[in-house]
Structure 1
Amino acid sequence: MEYLKEWQQALQIEISHLKKYGSNKFQLNNGHLVSNDQGFTYYFETPTKVIIAVGSNVTIQWGNQKVAGRILSAEDTSLLVSLERTLGDLIHEALLFHDPWELLEELIQRLDELKKSKQKRNRVKQMMKPTIPPKHPTEKNKSNSHELFFRSQYNSATFVWGPPGTGKTYTLARVAANKYFQGKRVLIVSHSNQAVDVLLLEIVQFLLKKERFSEGDILRYGTGTSLQEPITTQKLLETQDPKLAKEREVVTTEKRLLKQDLSHSFSKRDSETLLVLEKKLAVLLEKVRQKEIKFLKTAKIVGTTLAKAATDATIYEENFDLVIIDEASMAYVPQTAFAASLGKRVIISGDFKQLPPIAAARHALVDKWLREDIFHAAGIVDALKSGNWHPHLMLLKEQRRMHPEISAFTNQYIYGSKVFDHPSMSKKRNDLVEQGPFPNLASVLVDTSYTGQHCIQERASKSRLNLWQLLLSFQLIHESYTSGARSIGYVTPYRAQAMLMEQLLQSLYEKELASADIIAATVHRFQGSERDVMVFDTVDSYPKDRPSMLLTGKDSERLVNVAITRTKGKFIHVSDRSFMKNTVYKGKTIRQLVDHQEQTKQIITHQQIGTWIKQQHPKLRWIHALKLELVFKDLLEAKKTVMISLPEGTSLTSEWVAQLQALPKKIQVTIFSNQVVPIRQPVTVIHELFPFPFIIIDQHVLWLGQPLEGAKQIRPPFVAARLDSEKFVERLLAII
């Protein structure tokens, strides 16, 4: 098959690119040489949890040195890495680079094996270009579940187009369960652990309701699961071999406690004990592995990731009656094709109006096979564009997630009125809509026009960020939480902005995060999730000339669609309306969203900021910017440093000059400006400009909106924000 050759070429191009240029980067701290027997084994700590498979190839960079290595163990925030050569005994800080290109190499091997099987090649062919017309009966279809069941009974490949909230999980779960009732074996795969977990949980709940759940018949295979139900290998091990499960738990706990000791102090005896425990655990894990294989052989419904299916012989050497591929729109075409080859029948489910797969290399074959999904590759999207309906495509068209005021935009502009609301949605979501902020509004545009020029770039990654919109977005989260919401999402196109919000939440909302479901992430990370309240921060504003390609490029419609459709009851869009209308073509989705919210009177202007802010957070205060008493009080209480940004065209008033000149000489004053600063006391002037004014005092108090003299793009009412967070300011200074 010509497909196989091109897929392997595309994967190899991507692998070569990742090896040469691209890597996921992780910070390492507190490194110790544990052993120099058969390589150099190092213990490291990480600021946040790192999930890397044992055995993965990595590179450690320390200063100018780069050394190849392999992961021996990765648990929570500690790693054991075997390096090819020594970096010394102690390493205070280093970087770890890792890319899962080994998974792509495994996939190339699976495609090689596929060439040898005529049966499997034919399965792929029927998926890519079906030659057999649909055979399923149509008169018996009582529901989506019935129709999909019959389609998968009679046809080799069935495509399910499932827009957000249209019952995709519900429908797939019932089809899988009914296949199970027939005695069929079902494999469920997806690119993400979360998607696999959600679908398996729905199946378990359905079987329990029918009183037909039998332990061991359903298996969640692999790591990374959040499920607690008795379908994971861990839970099955606890019930079927409790002695082995307990032994593993004891050794794992002992190792974790020892690693905690290593984070405080380090000794040769500790390092030797750690290596002994690692070897002992390796023996136990092999025993567990043999048990897991037995679980899989007897299970009737197996759920795992596409990556696991392509790398674990226990999966890819099996043959299933039905393969269900969920969230297929985010999977590489070769991944989808390989998974389809494992079953007599395949259901491919996803939404080609949501985000496509991500690839790094720039090449025509990569664009064709790794940057676009199976719905495009199989000709389904082209058929729809030409006014035809693919014979093996089934659309789920009744959405039951969003309030109609939210879905009105996506139903019309994204799905071309092919999707409609279930009649219950307005009433079902009213409780969420009635909550603050903005009671009785389900969809809102918080307009940041005329509040200043706040859009800048992170130095290293060039990812964009906007401090003013970030603080406003946090305030919206705070208002939502204090109004009763406990399921809140913050989503943005830009990684730098998402990471800053994560830091802000950790700094100001630590207690709330422990009791509520509040997450900040990029749009790409949020696909597949849903929340009661969603805050969508577009970031882009002046002084940039235009939004980036994330909001205006080829896939921007899909990005905006995902951002909106995560929402159940309240969608809050934080954006600079003036900037979007002045710089974005009317046909682009982000502009259509702004225009739609404007036409439907869903706008909250910057003049209304004083009316909707009801709950001031102790660490984030909103103040009239012309009332200078509090900012001058902060200046008088400065202990070490004062940093001031004076954008081009702005200047310090006589009041500000007097306050700064009154500071003790021990205070280190730094001003970012390209002009002479009229202050007599010693001051460091850095000729590097930021487009907006800010003040940072003692590297923990941040003022935005001060000073205002001559600042561009600002109209009354003048508002300043005061944030008190040492960790956030530290992170901000590192970025800018």
Structure 2
Amino acid sequence: MENKGYPKNFREYTSIFQQALKQEIEELKKDVGGRGLKYYKGNLLFSSSKQFVYRFLNDSIPNIPDDTPIDTFIDNRHLNGQIVSTDIEGINISLEENMGDIIPEITIKTSRSKLPELLLDKFNKINSGEVAVNKESCMKLFSSEKSEKIDNSISSLNLHKYKYQPNSEQAKAILQSLTKEVTFIWGPPGTGKTWSLSIILDQLVNSNKKVLLTSHTNLAIDEILLKYTESLSDDEIIEDGKIIRYGTPTKKNPKFDKLILENIVQKKAEEKNKQIQLIEKKIKSLETDLTKYQNQNIIDILVELEIVKNNRLQTENEISKLQRSIHELNDANDRIEDTINKKSNI
């Protein structure tokens, strides 16, 4: 497959990306000292043992990418934090410590070059061989190699089960996504891209496929997950911990709480602990039964032994009586013989 003007191999692609990242980092670092932004009246959105997410309302959207590390200052205290998401109404910030239900004021400072620097470092590790990647798939992603059809058990789609029926173009995109190695779905806002992706996700999961859903924003991930979970006929797959939301959700939703890795681990641990307690209870019951059985056997043996002793004693008594009777009979016999002898002499 010939692509004029395109890089010819994987290394050329990474070189282009690295050069672009270096230029971006250079421009971003001109913002010496980082950006200092103030936000007010942040409400605790949700929390876990390791992160506490606060939402601050704001009139403008800060140009800070999701997952950007930040330094936060609250009442002259410094805390490490992270940008979870930004939208037209405000910003969600994750902190490493619980600062109560409301934070009256917070100042954040961030180096906007941090994420590009991390990405550049990743490219360096890929080129050095420290990090392994599927180069063939990468080349297909950039259309430098032909994307083939894949052997897939999904030969036909049952789209009638979904609440909102995909139109013909959406159905075509869904089918192609499930039968080709690489598929791009493009469309302006409101054309059903998120819903189509949730259907693709559902089809793959129902076919026992492992799926990695990723995006450059946390909000996009949560929108797709929300639509997907809404389409489920039951929550069994969620309750079983088969969907893991890695990172920090942007929304407070009971279903999202069940998808967070930390909560899944905690739930599994509680279930295992209950099983362990039941097993320990069963073991204790069996040990009690065993002891009781052993003790009962000892008692039975002792009773049997006592019976044998009594029988022996009774037999010995009877033998003694017989011996006395024999002795008496012998004495009587001797007396009779003496009497007979005396009479014979007369």
TM-score tier after normalising by the smaller chain length: 0.3 to 0.5
Q: Which has the larger radius of gyration?
A: 2
TM-score, length-scaled by structure 1: 0.24
Bigger RCO of structures 1 and 2 (CA < 8 A, at least 6 apart): 2
